[in-house]
Amino acid sequence: MSAKVYIDGQAGTTGLKIVDRLQNREDITLLKIAEEDRRNPEKRAEMMAEADFTFLCLPDDAAREAVTLAGDRTRILDASTAHRTNPDWAYGFPELSPAFREKIASSRRTAVPGCYASGFLSLMYPMVHNGLLPADFPVFAYATSGYSGAGKNAIAQYESEDKPYEFGSPRQYALAQQHKHLPEMQKFAGLTHPPMFNPIICDYHSGMVVSIPVQTRMLDKKITLQQVNEMFAAHYAEAKLVQVNPMMQEEQKSFFLASNTLSGQNKLEIFTFGNDEQILLCARLDNLGKGASGAAVQCLNIMMGIDETTGLV
């Protein structure tokens, strides 16, 4: 018997990608709302009442309203930022710890992580929770990302023939240090202070790299690049969608880390670069894959009690 799934916000970028990942699955029946009813609260409530699972691919305020609209009639996976730091919700990054995975499996409410937060937490959660960085470490992170995660209007601008001249250059944003992903980045990394975060949107479609430099001379105890790499390998030893790459030695001198390599894929890669004095941690993923719709479908699979990679590999 297939599970009935409704996507509230099915015409948005993340919603469309979720449809792509679910529409050919025999264990899923997608419930489609009529175009003219997409903003009709009564019709949406009817779809949620019929669905076993409902994805919310909506702006924050609309997602909050949708949860009220749904009541307790459906299990919800929210791809907005509205509920990510709510302790009553499961946080949808199962590879971080068994406790995260167990809560996703049993919860009726799962908040799908943000794309930048996924890259950041894949690096910082293990570093803090395995004792290699203290919780009060002054963390700085930067990231390069394709434009596909910026929404339909931005995608249209980037892909238009008369796009602004500046769009051909990498553009830094969220310069006031108030990026919407910062609360979840701080909370789930276990940091006592918000990290500084420098996101950069670039003129390519999808994929991203989140990078965190660590000056080890700022630490009270010595850590090595090999120790960090081995820690990541052990932390993610059982992960099916997170790959820890071997530590590079001479190869990294001529190595270029592209941000779009995993475009269209659902996995995340971890790299450790540098040396014992200056360690560079990098996470590469597709902002619409493991950073959005792929992560949402992975959480759905866990909530359904099936292999988490179903439809993703």
The values of phi and psi at residue 50, to 5°, are -80, -25
Contact 114, 81 (CB under 8 A): yes
Instruction: Please say whether the beta carbons of 257 and 209 come within 8 A.
Output: yes
Residue 122 belongs to what H/E stretch? helix 115-129
List strands edge to edge, sheet with 3-8. Answer: 28-31, 3-8, 53-56, 75-78, 109-111, 90-91
Secondary structure, 3-state, 148-194: HHHCHHHHHHHHCCCCCHHHHCCEECCCCCCCCCHHHHHHHHCCCCC
DSSP class of 292: I
Catalytic residues: 115
**SS3 category, 251:** helix
Which secondary structure element, helix H or strand E, spans residue 90, and what is its range?
A: strand 90-91
